[in-house]
Amino acid sequence: MKKNTFYILIGCIALALLALFIYSIETRLIPLWIEPVAFVTGILIVYTARKSVTDLIEDERSAKITENAVVRTFQVFWVVFCAFSIGAVMDLLYLPQFSRERFLGRPPGILTIRMMGYFQLGLLCLMIFLYVGFRMYYARKYGDWETDEE
């Protein structure tokens, strides 16, 4: 298994754990002990898959690719995450501009607090896929996939 495939597997496991978490909270049918069991199972799957990764050679080029991918991932992710969080907080703190007689309650917002939390958890899981995308871009840019045979 290649490194990028391994990272995509980690992202899929994180999304599956997130879906299980949301499902267990929304339906209240799954007992609370299922979450830790699913988390430990996910960790064991990642540990087992890590042993089958074949291209673990660390040289200066792969360190440069990893460094650039991490920096770009954080730069893009934090801009998106902060923009979403600021927008969600502004929606939660919305104050209507009309008189109190016509207004009996808070108008429905775009996101509830629960949905905002779910969306932020989803963004955290999708950050893994963003990292894989940047890793593939920089690997292609710096020639990590080229063969060095002469």
User: Per-residue pLDDT averaged across 124-139, rounded?
Assistant: 88
Q: Which helix (H) or strand (E) holds 139?
A: helix 113-142
Q: For residue range 9-48, what is the model confidence (pLDDT) as tens digits?
A: 998 998 898 888 888 878 877 677 788 888 899 999 999 9
pTM exceeding 0.95: no
The secondary structure of 45-113 as a DSSP string is HHHHHHHT-------HHHHHHHHHHHHHHHHHHHHHHHHHHHHHHHHHT----S-SSS--SPPPPSS-H
